[in-house]
Amino acid sequence: MIKARPSREGSGLVDGRRRVVIEGVRPEIDGGRFPIKRVVGQSVAVEADVFTDGHDEIAGVIRYRHEQEQDWTDVALTFVENDRWRASFEVREQGLYYYTIAAWIDHFRSWQRDMRKRVAAAQDVTVDLLIGRDLIKAAALRADGADAERLNAIATAMEHGEERALTLKTVLEQELTDLMARHADHSWTTLYDKELAVIVDRVRAGFGAWYEAFPRSCAMALGRHGTFQDCEARLPYIAGMGFNVLYFPPIHPIGRTFRKGKNNDPVGSPDSVGSPWAIGAAEGGHKAIHPDLGTPEDFRRLIGKAREQGLEIALDLAFQCSPDHPYVKHHPEWFVQRPDGTIQYAENPPKKYQDIYPLNFESDQWAALWRELKEVVVHWIDQGVRIFRVDNPHTKPFAFWQRLIGEVKRDHPDVLFLAEAFTRPKVMYRLAKLGFTQSYTYFAWRQTKLELTQYFTELTKTDVREYFRPNLWHNTPDILTEQLQLGGRPVFMSRFILGATLGANYGIYGPAFELMESRP
Amino acid sequence: MIKARPSREGSGLVDGRRRVVIEGVRPEIDGGRFPIKRVVGQSVAVEADVFTDGHDEIAGVIRYRHEQEQDWTDVALTFVENDRWRASFEVREQGLYYYTIAAWIDHFRSWQRDMRKRVAAAQDVTVDLLIGRDLIKAAALRADGADAERLNAIATAMEHGEERALTLKTVLEQELTDLMARHADHSWTTLYDKELAVIVDRVRAGFGAWYEAFPRSCAMALGRHGTFQDCEARLPYIAGMGFNVLYFPPIHPIGRTFRKGKNNDPVGSPDSVGSPWAIGAAEGGHKAIHPDLGTPEDFRRLIGKAREQGLEIALDLAFQCSPDHPYVKHHPEWFVQRPDGTIQYAENPPKKYQDIYPLNFESDQWAALWRELKEVVVHWIDQGVRIFRVDNPHTKPFAFWQRLIGEVKRDHPDVLFLAEAFTRPKVMYRLAKLGFTQSYTYFAWRQTKLELTQYFTELTKTDVREYFRPNLWHNTPDILTEQLQLGGRPVFMSRFILGATLGANYGIYGPAFELMESRP
């Protein structure tokens, strides 16, 4: 167990004998501000530049531990080239792992190296043997049991200068090298000054095929509002195609005020079903189920039935409200109040989306709002949901997601979050860094060989791969690329194969995709 | 003056309304662990990714100050592309500067942007004007004097809804934009969590031509030991070639024990002059002057005479001792004691350098040793020296140099250190990062176009340029490349031009170089 004396760089009391430096550690995202990601069973290969002044040999370890372990496990660094060292470890449990680096001067191996040269040059090594003896005696004091005995025996033989040839053989053998390594002097070991984190997810985070479907469209009879029971009947069809995750757009009551019509008609009739993303009505908000879909019991049964088929149900987290959402009445402080007393609806001037009230994350009551939104997530976790697809996360504060995901995964490390952020690259990467398990990508719009090569080089050959897990969607209810509109069956098939081979996660919106629906 | 409330991320009390993130700051060496370098009059261009969630406009500044200033000076960030922002500032004084970044949501500019679109779409803007009025009234409370009056006047006009066209014109004009920017709301401004440093040197650190000469070889008469007075006579010749720095190898008394002979003869006669790097004899050590060179007065006079010619004298810092050095007698604890009671000489097994005793930086008395070596530097600073060429810095601990250079430059910011570390690249870069002003390079051995292009791309197009100032030496007493040995006048001339144009600092060992001495 390495216990280096703490370096007190801040107080100017660095021990000048701490001579090894450690820098250029990878992976290390933004100077260690964000964790890297792995799934259970994967390995973490850590590299660093480790070196010292002069010509002494050095040795070091990667140290890692699961958040619930007190003690570090050490893995010896091996030399790569050009002062670069490497070691790797396997992550076996969900949750957070930490890793860092320790390295030190290995005076004994320096001595062995020089001794070999002296012997080869037939030099007098009398004094050099005494130097080695002192190193070995010091190690014996740090050891106990059989190791201490053996070290002392070797030291004594060196001291007495007997049987020179045999002694020389012994001190250069691997047995002693290993013994000395086990009892190395860590008085001036350098500890890297950061403990870096790995967030370890279950295997599903790493690969999977997603199928998006509106539960209300699952009825076999045309024109009838589908139910969770109808969805049950669809499970064998979806599972039979090989999908692992069945993702539902919001299943909550839908607002009636300014309800939208079919096919992007901005004005609906009272009997239009409305957009599921206009969440909230008299029947309830984000914790309620649309009455036409079924009951909480129906939903929980569906989750169980899906599991039997090897399918997980993923829900949508769309943190916005219809004007009829109970929050509007009970928590008007969570919305922006306009000077005329009305509540601010969503806008992209001059466009107005009066059926949607965005939540106000700059409210004085932001902390209560954050707590409530976490309660929404916990509510669905309690119903058995373990995967969330998050709608437009880039329109809510980064710190909100970082806190929410961090807290939820601390209690439920098996919960996964997919970020639906179709926005600028640095925003998408930030969301991934702060905790989203997977991310939508630009894949659908990368079509030429050059575009695909450049994009997937960025995703797989840079630090991005350490924290951003692409989920390659071909289409969504909002997205049907020109290529799919015009290319017919060959494009549907070739894109599908690209998605399934360029990444480990892909998704389709069905049954439009598998029926090769090309009408926009 | 921006005074953001402190973020208390550690305590979990981040204000959720602090929505702007700042990342990807450049220059930032090793996560801010090391300063970048500039000379007086240069500028520092700082870039960062600055963005927020949603669609709000943002604004920000680079903040910088000299270490002796209390207050920050702010320079507005301008948008580059892809969430990248940039600003620059000029460094006008020697010493340390600090810089960091602050950024915030600019609700007023978001409002103006949307208002323009609403007006263009001929929408009713009655309520929107009231929203803008509230923003302006809030700014008026943060302002005083004429600004407050003007802001209140505009707000009142908006309130009364009079002269709609005139009001609309006023609120979209640059005057109000500027007023509002001056009194922006910094309640939730994000401050970058690091203050990054710039070490600002005098101009000579940035460019110069160096001439290395042994003062003992400055005598005009062949065979006579040169003196500082002889050197005075040489100054016009050296200055006349355009050099700025005249660097002397060690000028201290030379050990007699195991003294080396001429031309690498390992055994010298008692009357050999010896290697100036075998420092120390009965006459003194690192603070003494070799009696054959002259007196301290002679040396100080030479410095003055050189200055009159536009030349600075640079001294060698070679922290090692001959067996005759006073330290050996008075501070045996600063050397490695061998078990036979002797002191460890320098070795590269099986080679032995018995005329040199390395200092033991792992001594229990390391702190006293560090203090003494700093005293050596201060001694020569007191004699008027301001430039040191450091011999083999890579064989002494990194932390030693970091402390020494940091302390010396804190008191004497005009002192420059050139690292003579011909070793592995990461070691050379570390020495530059920790404080060396300039560094020897691999230039002499980079000869083909490809080699030169690759090397100078690394030195000038990567972060290396922020901290590593190359000094391109053509030859030294130890180095005469095969190219110079074999290529004759054309190679001497072309290499000289390469050195003078590929970098801003170069050096020659004379008069061997200008006389095109090609015998190894």
Out of A16, A340, A424, closest to residue B400 by CB: A16
Going by pLDDT thresholds of 50, 70 and 90, the confidence category of residue A1 is low
For A16-56, write each residue's pLDDT tens digit: 899 999 999 999 999 999 999 999 999 999 999 999 999 99
Token representation of residue B203: 């101009």
Say what the pLDDT of residue B10 is.
Answer: 40
Token representation of residue A93: 């449990």
A238 in Cβ contact with A246 (< 8 Å): yes
**Cβ contact (<8 Å) for A400 and B127?**
no
For A379-431, write each residue's pLDDT tens digit: 999 999 999 999 999 999 999 999 999 999 999 999 999 999 999 999 999 99
Task: Please determine, for the modelled complex, whether the ipTM score is greater than 0.90.
Answer: yes
Q: CA B495 from chain center: how many Å? A: 26
Strand order in the sheet with A43-51: A21-26, A43-51, A84-90, A78-81
Across chain B, mean pLDDT equals 94
Out of A54, A342, A370, closest to residue B16 by CB: A370
Taking Cα atoms as reference points, which of B56, B15, B84 lies closest to residue A395? B56
**Cβ contact (<8 Å) for A127 and B370?**
no
For A181-193, write each residue's pLDDT tens digit: 999 999 999 999 9
Out of B49, B131, B339, closest to residue A134 by CB: B339
Say what the pLDDT of residue B1 is.
Answer: 52
What is the length of chain A? 520
**Cβ contact (<8 Å) for A430 and B117?**
no
Q: How many angstroms away from the CA of A145 is the closest CA of chain B? A: 27
Q: How many angstroms away from the CA of B44 is the closest CA of chain A? A: 22
Would residue B244 be called left, alpha or beta, if left means φ above 0 and alpha means ψ between -120 and 50 degrees? alpha
Q: Which of A29, A53, A351 to mutate to test the interface with B (most CBs of B within 10 A)?
A: A53
Give pLDDT < 70 ranges for chain B.
1-14, 161-162, 263-266, 268-270
For residue B55, give every residue at least 6 positions away whose Cβ sits within 8 Å of its Cβ, in sequence order, or none. A348, A395, B110
Token representation of residue B235: 């100054």
Q: How many angstroms away from the CA of A364 is the closest CA of chain B? A: 9
Q: Which residues of A touch B431 (CB under 8 A)?
A: none
Out of B53, B188, B361, closest to residue A16 by CB: B361
Kindly name the residue from A162, A420, A458, A478 that is annotated as catalytic.
A420
For A213-248, write each residue's pLDDT tens digit: 999 999 988 889 999 999 999 999 999 999 999 999
Say what the pLDDT of residue B270 is.
Answer: 62
**Cβ contact (<8 Å) for B427 and A118?**
no
Q: How many beta carbons lie within 10 A of that of residue A399, not counting itself?
A: 23
Query: Do the bridges between strand B208-212 and strand B245-247 make them parallel or antiparallel, or are there none, so unpaired?
Result: parallel
Distance of alpha carbon A58 from alpha carbon A107, whole angstroms: 8
Q: How many CB pairs under 8 A join A and B?
A: 155
**Cβ contact (<8 Å) for A397 and B120?**
no
Name the residue of chain B whose CA is nearest to A133's CA.
B339
Taking Cα atoms as reference points, which of A217, A207, A145 lies closest to residue A182? A145
User: Is A106 a catalytic site residue?
Assistant: no
Kindly name the residue from A212, A232, A316, A391 that is annotated as catalytic.
A391
**Cβ contact (<8 Å) for B399 and A340?**
no
**Cβ contact (<8 Å) for A19 and B127?**
no
B391 in Cβ contact with B317 (< 8 Å): yes
Per DSSP (E only), the strands in A255-375 are 312-317, 320-321, 346-348, 351-353, 357-358
Q: What values do phi and psi take at B175, rounded to 5?
A: -55, -50
Taking Cα atoms as reference points, which of A153, A113, A149 lies closest to residue A133? A153
Kind plus residue range of the DSSP H or E element containing B73: strand B73-76
Name the residue of chain B whose CA is nearest to A50's CA.
B426
Which stretches of A35-144 are DSSP H helices?
Answer: 107-120, 126-142
Distance of alpha carbon A12 from alpha carbon A14, whole angstroms: 6
Give me the active site residues of B, please. Answer: 391, 420
Q: Which residues of A touch B339 (CB under 8 A)?
A: 127, 130-131, 133-134
Q: Which amino acid is at A97?
A: Y
Say what the pLDDT of residue A9 is.
Answer: 41
Name the residue of chain A whose CA is nearest to B193's CA.
A33
Sole residue written with tokens 């019509």: A261
Say what the pLDDT of residue A161 is.
Answer: 65
Kind plus residue range of the DSSP H or E element containing B439: strand B438-440
Distance of alpha carbon B286 from alpha carbon B281, whole angstroms: 10
Say what the pLDDT of residue B301 is.
Answer: 98
Q: What is the dihedral of CA A196, A197, A198, A201, to 10 degrees?
A: 180
Distance of alpha carbon B231 from alpha carbon B215, whole angstroms: 6
Say what the pLDDT of residue A330 is.
Answer: 98
Q: What values do phi and psi take at B440, rounded to 5?
A: -65, 160
| pLDDT at residue A76 tops 90 | yes
Q: How many angstroms away from the CA of A339 is the closest CA of chain B? A: 6
For A319-366, write each residue's pLDDT tens digit: 999 999 999 999 999 999 999 999 999 999 999 999 999 999 999 999
Q: How many angstroms away from the CA of A26 is the closest CA of chain B? A: 12
A419 in Cβ contact with A388 (< 8 Å): no
Name the residue of chain A whose CA is nearest to B118's CA.
A350
CA distances from A225 to A222, A230, B16 (A): 9, 9, 40
Say what the pLDDT of residue A263 is.
Answer: 65
What is the length of chain B? 520
Distance of alpha carbon A486 from alpha carbon A499, whole angstroms: 18
| pLDDT at residue A11 tops 80 | no
Burial class (CB in 10 A: 0-12, 13-18, 19+), A188: middle
Q: Which residues of A touch B132 (CB under 8 A)?
A: none
